[in-house]
Structure 1
Amino acid sequence: MALAERGTINHRLKWTGITLLLISLAIGAGWGVYRLPAPLVERMLRTDILKQSELWKRRVVLHLEDPETTLRTGHIDGHDAEFLTSMPEASDVYRFRLFDTSGRVVWSTRQGEVGLREDSAFFRADVARGMVYYLQEVVPLSEIDGLDLHTGNIQNSSAHHIVKVFMPVTKNGRFIGAIEFFTDISDLRATFITRLRISLIVLSGVALLALAMVSLVTYRTNRAQLRSLHKQSEKERDLMADQLRLAREVRLLGELNEWLQSSRSLDELFDMVSRFMTHILPEAEGSVYVYSNSRDVLDGCASWNGGTHKAHIHPEGCWGLRRGRTYEFGASEIDFICEHAEPHDGRQYFCFPILAHGETVGLLHLRAHENCEEEFHVSRKLAQLCAEQISMAIANVRMRDQLHDQSVRDPLTGLFNRRHMTETLRKSISRSQQTGVPLSLIAVDVDHFKKFNDTHGHDAGDMVLRAVGAALEQGCDRDEVACRIGGEEFMLILPDNTPDDAVSRAEKLRQSVEAVSVRYGDKSLPRITISVGVSHYPAHGTMPQDLMRAADDALYMAKDKGRNQVQVAKGTPTETGSADSNGQKVRTSGPVAAA
């Protein structure tokens, strides 16, 4: 009985010890659940808000006509003021201010703050030296502008957590001002803390429950059962590792999709692909190819993780492209090596055709690193998802490029339209003002165009316009831009051309159009001629409308003098040509000589 009682006492003592241990762990877990989420969430929010602040700053700076002048003088035109005022409604920012280099507020969503000065030490010590300053504080609800615009459900609290971020604005490494953003993180912070606490509670509960079961089984079973428990624990760890890996893959895929959808060009997109694929599939090297415009070859665009890509490959040289589906080398007894995979060292590889809207647009090639074949084979599904993300992003970028091209192109001739011409001319004038390079503008009008339409029909007229447009486009070189501004009227922007060169180019253009022969049906249309007017910057104006008006005036003068000739706007001396009775410089050309 004494041994039995002693065994019972030992059993109770051991069980009591295990119980106290579990209670201690539960208390520790409860303390961790209550105390840990807040600093963790605030650290994550800090990183996210700093990234967002950089994007907000970029939006403001890119939108301002002249950020340096705006921050220095505080002068903001109506268009910029409208954008700045509407920005809080289109972002998570509820309030922001613009500062000059001395810390004076030059613009604020609160107009009464304009003229105030930020005298904080961190502005002079950190922000003025190009460093970002992040400050989180608790403020009353009354301090938050437009709270209803940023929170769907305002919590029953008299104070909110807000973040102030001072973003320095620099130009060529020089500090020119700063932007301070205010954002309310109360609801987001509370939501993340709650979710993290719930997750920690669940994980802590599972852990404590598992620990209790393991302790009980360990206490009451033999060594065989203990070994079985160890095996089960290993399976659980593997399962947890798989779940963590899956969660990481899902997160990275989400981030990849978000970044790819925000890319502005294919070059930027492929740079993002290279950086993400290094983290998503570290056990594989890879490369990506995209069909060229001619679709006879694929161009190598990017590679990562030690992989290389060739400048061009033929679609017939890839078994994945030839068969129209994913090809895995090393999965069968008999495999054939793709030409683009040469030289081959026997490692497994994947070829994923990249599809967009049912059309093959490229190829994703992945090759296993040495001693990573098993992990590489398991990653096939993930790699397939990556290929799908890349294909959607490529389709979006191309569609965006097509829409942009359609918005600035004339659908009949393929030349740029009036809107694009005006923007390009404005930029060319600004460049000429800064660098002093010459700039000329050529206005073109098809002579007697109405007769083509009345005599031969509008289809024939369209063929004439396309022929003239093709002649203008062939005459363009470097940064020169040919535009159709409406009807039978065209314009040609000639940067980096002296006045004499521009007149010579205009005459060559007139001659090239005159030499064009257009067939309509079974007959040739009458000879096409054009009247041309030339204006120069800054002799004929420093604004786009002034140069266009001067070129048009010279064009109408060419028509008045008999058409099929080149006339230069008044006020520009040229080394060739003669002056009319009004002092107008002209260049004789065509069957009708300028008076």
Structure 2
Amino acid sequence: MVGVAAWSVFRLPTPVVDRMIESDIRKQAQLWTRGITMHLEHLPEIFASGELDEHDIEFLMLMPSTSDAYRLKLLNAEGRVIWSTRGAELGTLTPDAPFFDVVARGGTHYSLVERPITEVDGSMPAAREGQQDDARCIAEVYTPVIVDGQFLGALKFYADVSERRQTFATRLQLVLAALSSFALLTMCATMLVIYRTNRARFAALQSRTATERSLMDEQLRLAREVRLLGELNEWLQSCRALEELFAMVSRFMEHILPDAEGSLYVYSNSRDVLDGSAGWNGGVFKDHIHPEACWGLRRGRSYEYGASEVDFVCDHAEPHDGRPYFCFPILAHGETVGLMHLRARAGAEADFSTSKRLAQMCAEQISMAIANVRMRDQLHDQSVRDPLTGLFNRRHLTETLRKQLLHCQTRGGRLSLIAVDVDHFKKFNDIHGHDAGDMVLRAVGAALEQACDRDEVACRIGGEEFMLVLPDCTPDDVMTRAELLRQSVEEVTVRYGEKTLPRVTISAGVAHYPRHGTMPQDLMRAADDALYEAKGMGRNQVRVAQSAGADQREPSEPKPAKTAAPPDDPPRAEGSFAAE
């Protein structure tokens, strides 16, 4: 390090100083050239003929005394000297190759050479006894003279930079010496500080080892919690029903938070109360709680009992024995879907607050799982519901019939269908408009839905056609239900705007399992046949399908045409109906 500093002090200044002097001389040469070219008039003629008047010569002779250049030459484009402060050089050609390679192309050429002091104009060798042969550093600069883009010639300046070079070098050496000394002192001080710091660090490392061990244990605990959270999320996302989800939550929470008693509440469909859904580690939950019974729900954020000097117990946590607890509102898609309540188990109150963050992450996982299950249920409900009437659609009807028939075939039981069609609906729709027709369909759908009980299902299978599935009913009960339905529809009053629409009636056809078929399509066909029999006999009545192989119609009586409905939903949910 000391050798590098010495080399920097004694070797580095020379090229740096030479570069500084070159930059300075180049700038001065540009200024000298500009002054000369501005003073000389008729530059093209001067450089072409080489003739200068007395006034120009007098000005040029003053150049060495008014600048750092002790010698000046004017050269034409061929490199011939047309004027010089040394008269003996007039008419000579320059031997310098850079004149033609650099200067003639518009560039400036600089060179630093050593010359004997006797070649420096204006020097006084007699006054420098013993130093007549001293070498001097001479800066020689060519600057081009260009007028209107034409190269006329060049000016060559000679400047003695020996003293300037020595002065710059000395000053730079002093600066570098000071900097090197400062650097050495700084390095010594730094090494001392590093030594003392290392001793302190060694002592700190010994005390940190125990801390790192405890952190390692904490990392292992966190890794286990993350793994359990990942497994919890995977299992919850695979749940197909809320009951299954609540059972999984209870199992996982026993392992994730073993020191906390917990319970889970979920908003009911009416959103007026929360239903108790799950509990773990001995956590007891109530069947129903009101949203106002929890400070967490009322304040819209997590509530921790025991964290402040003044706390209030939630009503749903009563009776309370003083143990700290958490209330986490369960949020999904910006909506509160439930509440997770955690209370410290007896003897674990001291470390209970440290589990808050993990409990919050569990609540977030549970909230998203509940939202996903409900969204799946909602999407499934939308796929099996008719958007106009709210009744089930043809897809759900087919699935229900298959399940009910399988139940009847394996365990025994009864099953009946009632096919319903609104009388003269097409004519009604054409006279009063589609909006009025939609209101009639909604009114009929509401009557069918009110007629259903227990596992009975009302469906709109297309246009103005409906169907009821009645399990475990005797034939007489089915006929009574169909007749009551017909009467209830007949009594319905439908208002459209400011007027009351004409009376609405329906025709119905009844089919029973297994009398009229053992397959869904057979039963539906039999119910349709009975329906069209009722329509053919004057409408607004109920008919039962004939037994398999029998036919009520006369041979000459054609069977009314039917418009086939699509397999799932009606062709158009709003204002579009099948032709009657």
1:240 match? 216
Could you tell me which residue of structure 2 aligns to residue 456 of structure 1? 432
Q: 1:322 aligns with which of 298, 303, 309?
A: 298
Matches within 5 A, 1:459-498: 459-498=435-474
Q: Which residue of 1 aligns with 2:276?
A: 300
Q: How does 1:155-174 map to 2 (within 5 A)?
A: none
Q: Name the SS for the 1:564 alignment partner.
A: coil
Kindly indicate whether residue 238 of structure 2 is the aligned counterpart of residue 275 of structure 1.
no
Aligned residue identity for 1:563:
R
Whole-angstrom CA distance in 1 between matches of 2:442 and 2:419: 17
Q: Letter of the 1:431 partner, please give it.
A: H
Counterpart of 2:342 in 1: which secondary structure?
Answer: strand
Once residues 415 and 289 of structure 2 are traced to their aligned partners in structure 1, the CA distance between those partners, rounded to angstroms, is 43
What is the SS of the residue equivalent to 1:282? coil
User: Which SS does the other structure have where 1:493 is aligned?
Assistant: strand
**d(CA) in 2 for partners of 1:503, 1:236:** 82
Cα distance 1:372–1:231, how it changes in 2: closer, same or farther (>3 A)?
Answer: farther
1:347 matches 2:323 = yes
Deviation string 1:217-264 (CA, Å, 9 cap, x unpaired) is xxxx9xxx99x8885443232111100000001000000100000011
Amino acid at match of 2:308: S
Query: Which residue of 246, 265, 269 maps to 2:241?
Result: 265
- The equivalent position to 2:407 in structure 1, one of 431, 434, 439, is 431
Could you say what secondary structure the match of 1:379 adopts?
Answer: helix
5+ residue gaps, structure 2: 1-198, 556-580
Q: 1:342 to 1:558 in 2, by over 3 A?
A: same
2:260 pairs with one of 265, 284, 293:
284
1:334 to 296, 301, 310: 310
Say which of 351, 370, 374 aligns to 2:346: 370
1:442, CA displacement in angstroms?
0.6
CA shift digits 1:96-144 (9 cap, x unpaired): xxxxxxxxxxxxxxxxxxxxxxxxxxxxxxxxxxxxxxxxxxxxxxxxx
Residue by residue over 1:481-535, the C-alpha shift from the partner in whole angstroms, topping out at 9 and shown as x without a partner, is 1110000000011111122221111111111111111111122111110000011
AA matched with 2:546:
K
Q: CA deviation at 1:451?
A: 2.7
Match of 1:549 in 2: 525
**Corresponding residue for 1:133?**
none
1:527-556: per-residue Cα shift (whole Å, max 9, x none)? 110000011111111111111111111111
2:328 counterpart letter in structure 1: F
Unaligned 5+ residue runs, structure 1? Answer: 1-220, 573-578, 583-595
In the TM superposition, 1:11-90 aligns within 5 A as: none
TM-score by length of 2: 0.59
Aligned AA (2:357)? K
Give the match's secondary structure for 2:269.
Answer: coil
CA distance in 2, matches of 1:230, 1:272: 46
Deviations 1:327-372 (A, max 9, x none): 1110000111110011111111111000011001100110111232
Matching residue within 230, 236, 245 for 1:254: 230
Distance of 1:524 and 1:566 partners within structure 2 = 26
Whole-Å separation in 1 of the counterparts to 2:412 and 2:211: 74
For residues 278 and 376 of structure 1, the distance between their equivalents in structure 2, rounded to whole angstroms, comes to 15
Q: 1:567 and 1:488 mapped to 2: Cα distance?
A: 18
Which amino acid is 1:409 matched to?
A: R
* Structure 1 match to 2:187: none
| 1:69 equivalent in structure 2 | none
Separation (CA, whole Å) in 1 of partners of 2:431 and 2:349: 74
Identity, % of aligned positions? 77
Q: What are the equivalent positions in structure 2 for 1:80-159 lying under 5 Å apart? A: none
Q: Name the SS for the 2:222 alignment partner.
A: helix
Q: Does residue 521 of the first structure (1) align with residue 497 of the second (2)?
A: yes
AA of the residue aligned to 2:294: C
> Once structures 1 and 2 are overlaid, which stretch shifts more, 519-528 or 281-290?
519-528
Alpha-carbon offset, residue 452 of structure 1: 2.8
Amino acid at match of 2:311: D
Q: CA deviation at 1:375?
A: 1.9
Larger Rg: 2
Q: State the one-letter code of the partner of 1:346.
A: G
CA deviations on 1:286-323 (whole Å, 9 max, x unpaired) are 10101111111111100110110001111111110011
Partner Cα distance (1:396, 1:519) in 2: 40
2:573 corresponds to: none
Mapping 1:573-588, distance limit 5 Å = none
